[in-house]
Amino acid sequence: MTSPRPTTTLWRPTGPVELGLVRESGWRAWPPRLPEQPIFYPVLDEDYAVRIARDWNVKHDGAGFVTRFEVDAEFAGRYPVRQAGGSTILELWVPAKELDEFNAHIVGTIDVVHEFR
């Protein structure tokens, strides 16, 4: 019996509209980016995701959610980790045109782990 492939845990702060689209996917995929969104950027630190959802999404969208999901670790390794600020402000930058392939490497479901209103 072989063990499952290793995964990388990622978080994504999101507003209610994007979360609704994730729900419509059966909690299995992120929706396509809008033309003004050339990058999909999940984050590597739960606290960073909480800060964005609580402090930005609530202010702009009325609610903020933190999701957690797993991606095949080998696949995720093709995207460099970008430091967007302090030492814990780390993101993967996935080009929008690669999001379908990225979604195909999500292992399991996308789960809501925090909600702010």
Cα-flanking dihedrals φ and ψ of residue 46, to 5°? -60, -40
Contact status, residue 47 vs residue 88, Cβ threshold 8 Å? yes
pTM of the model: 0.93
Contact status, residue 33 vs residue 97, Cβ threshold 8 Å? no
Contact status, residue 38 vs residue 30, Cβ threshold 8 Å? no
Q: Considering the domain 7-116 in this protein, what is its CATH number?
A: 3.20.170
Would you state the pLDDT for residue 13?
98
How does residue 96 score in pLDDT terms, banded at 50, 70 and 90?
A: very high
Would you state the pLDDT for residue 5?
87
Would you state the pLDDT for residue 3?
55
Would you state the pLDDT for residue 2?
52
